[in-house]
Amino acid sequence: MLLVSIRSWVAIGAACLGPVLTGCMATYSPVVRPIPKLSVLSPELENLADAKIETYLTADVRPVLPSVLAVAKVAPVRSWNDGAWEIRLELQVLRGDEAEGWRSMAGAWEGGGKGVLEQVQLVSPMLAGGDATLKTLRDAAALLHAPLLLVYMQEDNAAEGYNDAAMAYWTIVGLFCVPGNTVGHYSVCQAILIDTRSGFILATAEGESKREENVLPGAVDIAAERVRRESRTEAAANLQEQFRSVLLDLALTRGVRSGPTGP
């Protein structure tokens, strides 16, 4: 009888206090799409004058294919200086599936056709130390004998909080059985393909991934790390898939000249 009474009071307390207390806690808001800013690479990309824009639009830059591609991934590093945030870019080391995804683009492509890329080189921080800029990355690509340079950045946003089911946490059973927390992660990759010699932009590509998951309160940290990892991996894979299509389209629409096929 006593046990039934205790359970009854717990249920009543949960019903009465749950809405009040939950209102004081952080609720989940959908994770926002981040916006990479590759314009930090160069003042020319950030503030193009009208004359410079006209130069870019009228230039007839035709890469010779098959060619060698240099790939560089940069990450923003933010620092507080004189009352304002400063952003610089740092070259990252590509590893694992992401690195293998770029390397696999060399050689024969779909349909057994002739490869558009004969080799893919990953730009190492040893070749472009310090702050990454368009100039330092072009110099690194030149050292690798790569007429084409792909530079990309990956930005992320994350969010977590209570969802509508969190009200059940005020019941003993709900606390252990109802996934009343939501974690979300949004990752976006943005890339530009550059002619190494001239610095002209030949094409752009993007890849993104948004993951959200409802979890129990004790699994929030584990789930947040999982959706972060999955979102970043999928965004990079989507970028590589789109870049493959962009490069093939570029070869068709720009009237790309064929390079020497051998002696």
Q: What is the DSSP string of the chain?
A: -HHHHHHHHHHHHHHHHHHHHHHTSPBP-PPPPP---GGGG-HHHHS--HHHHHHHHH------BSEEEEEEEEEEEEEEETTEEEEEEEE----HHHHHHHHTTSS--GGG---SEEEEEEPPTTTS-SB--HHHHHHHHHHTT-SEEEEEEEEEEEEEEE-GGGGGGGSHHHHHH---EEEEEEEEEEEEEEETTT--EEEEEEEEEEEEEEE-GGGHHHHHHHHHHHHHHHHHHHHHHHHHHHHHHHHHHTTPPB-----
**Of 44-58, 128-142, 246-260, highest mean pLDDT:** 128-142
pLDDT above 70 coverage of the chain, percent? 74
Contact 211, 157 (CB under 8 A): no
Mean pLDDT of 81-91: 79
Q: Work out the angle at residue 108's Cα, subtended by the Cα atoms of residues 105 and 113, and round it to the nearest 5 degrees.
A: 130
For residue 11, what pLDDT is reported?
Answer: 39
Q: In the predicted model, is pLDDT for residue 194 greater than 60?
A: yes
Q: Which of 44-53, 77-86, 161-170, 201-210 has the lowest average pLDDT?
A: 44-53
This prediction's pTM: 0.80
Q: How many residues does the chain have?
A: 263
Mean pLDDT of 233-257: 84
Confidence of residue 262 (pLDDT cuts 50, 70, 90): very low
Q: Express each pLDDT in 22-54 by its tens digit.
A: 444 589 999 999 988 877 777 666 655 555 555
Q: Express each pLDDT in 198-223 by its tens digit.
A: 888 888 899 999 999 999 988 999 99
For residue 198, what pLDDT is reported?
Answer: 87
Rounded distance between C-alpha atoms, residue 179 and residue 28, angstroms: 13
For residue 53, what pLDDT is reported?
Answer: 54
Q: Please, which contacts does 255-260 make with residues 24 or more away whose CB atoms are closer than 8 Å? A: 255/62, 256/62, 256/63, 256/64, 256/65, 257/62, 257/64, 257/65, 258/64, 258/65, 259/64, 259/65, 259/66, 259/67
Q: In the predicted model, is pLDDT for residue 19 greater than 80?
A: no
90 versus 129: the higher-pLDDT residue is 90
Rounded distance between C-alpha atoms, residue 114 and residue 261, angstroms: 11
